[in-house]
Amino acid sequence: MFSLTQGLRRALQTRPNGPSTAFGTRRRTWEQTADRAARVAGALTALGIKRGDRVAILALNSDRYFELMYALPWIGAVMVPLNTRLAAPEIDHILENSGAVGLFIDAAMAHHLSALEDRMASVREVIWLDDIASPDGMLHYEDLTAYDAAEDVGARDDDLAGLFYTGGTTGRSKGVMLTHTNLVVNAMNAVAGMGFDADTAYIHSGAMFHLADGASTFGVTLAGGRHAFVPRFEPVEVLQTIAAEKVTHAQFVPTMINMLVNHPRFGEFDISTLRFILYGASPMPEGVLRKALEAMPRVGMCHGYGMTEAAPIVTLLPPRYTTLSGPYAGRLKSCGQAALTCEVKIVDANRQEVPRGTPGELAARGANIMKGYWNKPNETDAVLADGWYYSGDGAYMDNEGFVFIVDRLKDMIISGGENVYSAEVENAISLMPEVGEVAVIGVPDERWGERVHAIIVPKPGATLTPEQVMEHCREQIAGYKCPRSVDFRGEALPLSGAGKVLKRELREPYWTGYTKAVN
């Protein structure tokens, strides 16, 4: 049996008085955390939220967010974590698409409430997740902890545990359906790959709506470790928390590592307890790695590769390969070997496995692979077949199973660790009356790995500036999806015989001199 709440019950059984969470001045034990989660579950039941109902969370990191990720499966409800960087129209789409009946929100996200006030047709309850007093008429999270504890309804295995929205190739984000099995098996992969145990202290500095952090949320609990939280990544607060909470494990994107080791106050903090960092979302630039290894010589660095559809871990590159010298140095550009319970293969256009060293599309199979896309059977069928998920990432595999990502077959950009689907940005830009044609591509960027770049053909007689395009986009989509640079063309965009824009031809000038078409 695979059940998310089993991990919480195990932590309670094996370490009832052991520390569970630390946030600001709050400290709790596993007995307290489990009791609070069960009481919040009881309150949600009293509010009419039942098994299978979707409940959205729009908030920064906190111990309450963590408790909620167990309270919801306790009653068989489905969590819908929302990206805190989304614009109001994107949030509205997810709430409507998921049919969310409840929304937990904090003060940092409260500015969206006025824009969403007349739109949240399915949402019956909005609950305040912050420390400060809730707005008039709104329930506060702490009110829920006064209810009687609910019995665990036993949601497990193929029951839906979460809807995690990811960008869409058609311009609309789609909900990835992850089951209890998906998330628990992925947590087991994290325990095995990251070495979680009862002595682990993990810092949640990456956003908790991201599954990269979620793998550790469930994995550390399963092992009976403890969790420390900062609301969002801020270098000094992260360093202070690592020192104060004696953190042993962390997960950062390379951009965050770069910000930490180059911060002028880095040397002020005792981070000697830190022994393991999982990095991912983009490859580690050699300059950043060199500085990190010099600044943190006792910390093992592990590269993880995955995607939402895999809950998310697919491959891991253990710390011994994250090196610039010695016999393992050549593996540094790899994203590792298949995770413990995952199979990986590289296939051709007919989905037949190719010989080692031959580029193709990466496919993954395992109990961590999603159930499908919410209410999107056609899109599900396009990527799932015989248990295999076809990722859209171009890669090759060497003779020892090390995977090297070389291209992105699906039209996606990864900038600073965030996935950006070109179609979403193109749809937003196309709403401008001055735009005749638009194509959005990823181009190399020293800081972000890749940046979102728009190529626009204005309508005859129309004038546009990059600033106008960026300002328009900020009103329509999340800031991280907005173009950071814009080019204007006088001629039409190049098209294939089937009438599709030749993105590869548009990208080529920007990627000259690079050995692969992703960064």
Residue-by-residue DSSP string for 429-444: HHTSTTEEEEEEEEEE
Position 407 confidence tier, pLDDT thresholds 50, 70, 90:
low
**CATH fold of 412-511:** GMP Synthetase; Chain A, domain 3 (3.30.300)
Position 419 confidence tier, pLDDT thresholds 50, 70, 90:
confident
Calpha distance 171→164 (Å, rounded) = 16
For residue 430, what pLDDT is reported? Answer: 83
For residue 222, what pLDDT is reported? Answer: 97
> What is the average pLDDT across 238-242?
98
Does residue 448 or residue 387 have the better pLDDT? 387
- Examine the pLDDT at 186 and tell me if it is beyond 90: yes
Where do the H-state alpha helices sit in 246-401?
A: 254-261, 286-295, 377-383
State whether the Cα torsion 44-48-50-55 is positive or negative.
negative
- Examine the pLDDT at 464 and tell me if it is beyond 60: yes
Parse the chain into domains and list their residue ranges. 4-392, 412-511
For residue 501, what pLDDT is reported? Answer: 80
Under 8 Å between Cβ of 476 and 89 = yes
Q: What is the mean pLDDT of the chain?
A: 92
> What is the average pLDDT across 384-402?
94
Position 282 confidence tier, pLDDT thresholds 50, 70, 90:
low
User: For 283-322, what is each residue's pLDDT tens digit?
Assistant: 566 777 888 999 999 999 999 999 999 999 999 999 999 8
What is the H or E stretch that residue 20 is in?
Answer: strand 19-23
pTM to 2 decimals?
0.84
Q: Report the range of poorest mean pLDDT among 7-11, 121-125, 283-287, 342-346.
A: 283-287
> What is the average pLDDT across 411-418?
76
Say yes or no: do domains 4-392 and 412-511 share a fold: no
For residue 170, what pLDDT is reported? Answer: 55
Structure tokens at 65: 């967010």
Calpha distance 157→176 (Å, rounded) = 16
Where do the H-state alpha helices sit in 431-518?
A: 466-476, 503-507
Q: Please state, in angstroms and as integers, the Cα–Cα distance from residue 465 to each residue in 39, 88, 443, following that order.
A: 54, 25, 20
- CB-hemisphere CA count at 13 Å for 182? 25
Q: Report the range of poorest mean pLDDT among 17-21, 135-139, 179-183, 277-281.
A: 277-281
Q: CB neighbours (10 Å) of residue 166?
A: 18
Residue found by looking up tokens 């999340």 in the block: 478
Residue found by looking up tokens 């955390």 in the block: 33
Sheet containing 485-488, strands listed edge to edge, beginning at the edge strand earlier in sequence: 435-445, 449-458, 485-488
For residue 421, what pLDDT is reported? Answer: 76
Position 394 confidence tier, pLDDT thresholds 50, 70, 90:
confident
Tell me the residue type at 127. I
For residue 203, what pLDDT is reported? Answer: 98
For residue 473, what pLDDT is reported? Answer: 93
Provide, rounded to the nearest whole percent, the portion of the chain with pLDDT above 90.
72
Calpha distance 377→170 (Å, rounded) = 14
> What is the average pLDDT across 457-485?
92
User: For 191-220, what is each residue's pLDDT tens digit?
Assistant: 999 999 999 999 999 999 999 898 899 999
Structure tokens at 318: 């253990």
- Examine the pLDDT at 82 and tell me if it is beyond 80: yes
4-392 is classed CATH 3.40.50.12780: yes
> What is the average pLDDT across 410-431?
79
Long-range contacts formed by 86-89: CB under 8 A, 24+ apart = 86/477, 86/478, 87/474, 87/475, 87/476, 87/477, 87/478, 88/112, 88/115, 88/116, 89/476, 89/477
Position 402 confidence tier, pLDDT thresholds 50, 70, 90:
very high
Calpha distance 519→510 (Å, rounded) = 12
> What is the average pLDDT across 387-403?
94
For residue 408, what pLDDT is reported? Answer: 63
Does residue 273 or residue 407 have the better pLDDT? 273
- The residues that bridge with 425 in the sheet, in sequence order, are none
> What is the average pLDDT across 355-375?
96
Burial of 269 (0-12, 13-18, 19+ CB in 10 A): middle
- Examine the pLDDT at 496 and tell me if it is beyond 70: no
For residue 9, what pLDDT is reported? Answer: 98
Return the ∠ at Cα 77 (arms to 75 and 78), rounded to 5°.
150
For residue 358, what pLDDT is reported? Answer: 92
Under 8 Å between Cβ of 84 and 206 = no
Q: Which residues of 16-50 are buried (b: 16+ CB within 10 A; e: fewer)?
A: eeebbbbbeeeebbbebbbbbbbbbbbbbbebebe
> What is the average pLDDT across 362-373?
98
Under 8 Å between Cβ of 59 and 113 = no
Structure tokens at 339: 């995770």
Q: Report the range of poorest mean pLDDT among 47-51, 140-144, 204-208, 447-451.
A: 447-451
- Examine the pLDDT at 355 and tell me if it is beyond 80: yes
> What is the average pLDDT across 272-278?
97
Calpha distance 58→105 (Å, rounded) = 5
For residue 330, what pLDDT is reported? Answer: 80
For residue 409, what pLDDT is reported? Answer: 64
Residue found by looking up tokens 């949320």 in the block: 217
Calpha distance 222→10 (Å, rounded) = 7
Does residue 497 or residue 461 have the better pLDDT? 461
Beta-strand (E) ranges in 78-173? 78-81, 102-105, 125-128, 139-140, 160-166
> What is the average pLDDT across 223-231?
98
Calpha distance 492→436 (Å, rounded) = 9
Position 437 confidence tier, pLDDT thresholds 50, 70, 90:
confident
Residue 308's φ and ψ, nearest 5 degrees, are: -55, -40
